[in-house]
């Protein structure tokens, strides 16, 4: 399904401030897997997430997404892949605070030519219903609690039925009880067949994953 091989990523390459963020990273993700990547701040785990999410281009190596090497795809092609096959859940929610919940969940579909406004609205309501959040559809995001915002962020991430759901510290901004509730939502989605990769510094969150990798100084190593 997804395979990255010999990935290297540099920042400020050739300068005194050069950072070798990813070093010969290899990773294979099968359909329906639940993978956790742990590591300290600056270890390279968020950079790897950006590469997998087609937000960063590696300096070396290959990235195979459904048997297509997407490393050298044009920016328009990558944007299409992101909108149709990849969902993102961020620590800071990355929602539009002054817009309604429904508008936020609809957003990814508005960049997909397969959806009219009406179809996008119907799909957004369907996804909110899936997570039992349809009662919040007309409320502004600014009126929601942190836990509600993260659930809405998850709805937005899965509204396009992505091949891969990438979660970057999805519980990092939440209290322990709310974090457990949000994690439960993610695990339920995985049990329903959603491929899930969680980047976290929280060992308890990582322990909920079937396969755990550790990132350290740009190196990715599978935990025994």
Q: Tell me the pLDDT tens digit for each residue of 115-139.
A: 899 999 999 999 999 999 999 999 9
State both tokens at 72. Answer: 């050298």
pLDDT < 50 stretches in the chain? none
State both tokens at 86. Answer: 């990849």
What's residue 198's pLDDT?
95
Strands (E) located in the chain: 2-11, 19-29, 34-38, 60-65, 68-69, 86-90, 164-168, 195-200, 211-216, 219-222
User: What domains, with CATH codes, occur in the chain?
Assistant: 2-222 (3.40.50.300)
What's residue 204's pLDDT?
85
What's residue 91's pLDDT?
84
What's residue 156's pLDDT?
94
Query: Within a 13 Å sphere around the CA of 85, how many CA atoms are in the beta-carbon half?
Result: 15
What's residue 110's pLDDT?
87
Cα(55)–Cα(128) distance, integer angstroms? 26
Cα(87)–Cα(110) distance, integer angstroms? 15
Predicted TM-score (pTM) above 0.75: yes
What's residue 189's pLDDT?
94
What's residue 60's pLDDT?
96
């Amino acid at each position: 399904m997804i395979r990255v091989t010999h990935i290297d990523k540099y920042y400020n390459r050739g300068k005194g401030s050069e950072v070798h963020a990813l070093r010969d990273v290899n990773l294979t993700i099968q359909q329906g897997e639940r993978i956790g990547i742990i590591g300290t701040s600056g270890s390279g785990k968020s950079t790897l997430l950006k590469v997998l999410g087609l937000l960063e281009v590696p300096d070396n190596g290959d990235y195979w997404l459904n048997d297509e090497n997407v490393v050298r795809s044009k920016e328009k092609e990558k944007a299409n892949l992101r909108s149709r096959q990849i969902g993102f859940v961020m620590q800071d929610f990355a929602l539009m605070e002054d817009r309604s919940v429904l508008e936020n969940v609809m957003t990814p579909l508005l960049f997909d030519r397969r959806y009219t406004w009406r179809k996008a609205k119907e799909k957004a309501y369907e996804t909110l219903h899936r997570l039992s959040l349809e009662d919040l559809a007309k409320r502004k995001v600014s009126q929601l609690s942190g836990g509600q915002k993260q659930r809405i962020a998850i709805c937005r991430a899965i509204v396009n039925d992505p091949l891969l759901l990438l979660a970057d510290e999805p519980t990092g901004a939440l209290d322990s009880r709310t974090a457990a509730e949000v994690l439960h939502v993610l695990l339920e989605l995985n049990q329903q067949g959603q491929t899930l990769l969680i980047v976290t510094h929280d060992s308890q969150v990582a322990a909920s994953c079937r396969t755990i990798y550790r990132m350290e100084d740009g190196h990715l190593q599978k935990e025994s």
